[in-house]
Amino acid sequence: MLTTLEQVKAYLIGVAAEPIPPAHDDIITHLIKRQSRAAEQFCRRRLTKLTWTSERHTGELGQTEFSPDHWPINAVTSVSIDGTAVVEGTAASNYVLLKNTDGETWALYREDGWKSDPHKLLITYISGYVLTTPTGTDILIPDDLEGAVRELSASAYLQRGKAGLARESFEGLSLDFDRWPSHIVQALSKYQRPRI
């Protein structure tokens, strides 16, 4: 989940017409899960901390930067090209981790490049954000991302039982992107994986 029950309930104080009964905690938790997944669908990637095992890619000739499907990268467990292990280091045949302007690791750089046979560039890694105090390689969820999901969850709670008119269905999940406030779309857009 990309926000917490406590954060959504605190947001709803003064917004909801009536106090939120404790019996509604399960409803709000369910809505948080739905809105977290909707935000991930909008961003075309998983945002919560997960381990990805043997994610397969095809390295291209001349490609020196390689970005796995999900970021930020918390830790890399293993990388191999055509069955040969590639390790972190400064030699041309090794890789170094690249950070973006927010200080998050998003790619691996290798001077020798990432050329591989089809689907023979494999990476096992941990990526994503956490909601609690980070430890080790954990990365705390950015305020704007958590705030967007908090507001979406609170809005879904206030609108429960009312049907939306404009919907997009994606992998069995109905999303109302065009009905999201522009500031929510703007906040989430910076976390989107580019379309290829």
Query: Tell me: the pLDDT tens digits for 48-76?
Result: 999 999 889 998 888 999 999 999 999 99
What is the arithmetic mean of pLDDT over 168-175? Answer: 44
Better-predicted residue by pLDDT, 196 or 35: 35
Nearest to 190 by CA among 38, 45, 3: 45
Average pLDDT of the chain to the nearest whole number: 87
Give the model's pLDDT for residue 171.
43
pTM: 0.81
Give the model's pLDDT for residue 5.
93
Give the model's pLDDT for residue 38.
96
Give the model's pLDDT for residue 13.
86
Residue 172 pLDDT exceeds 60: no
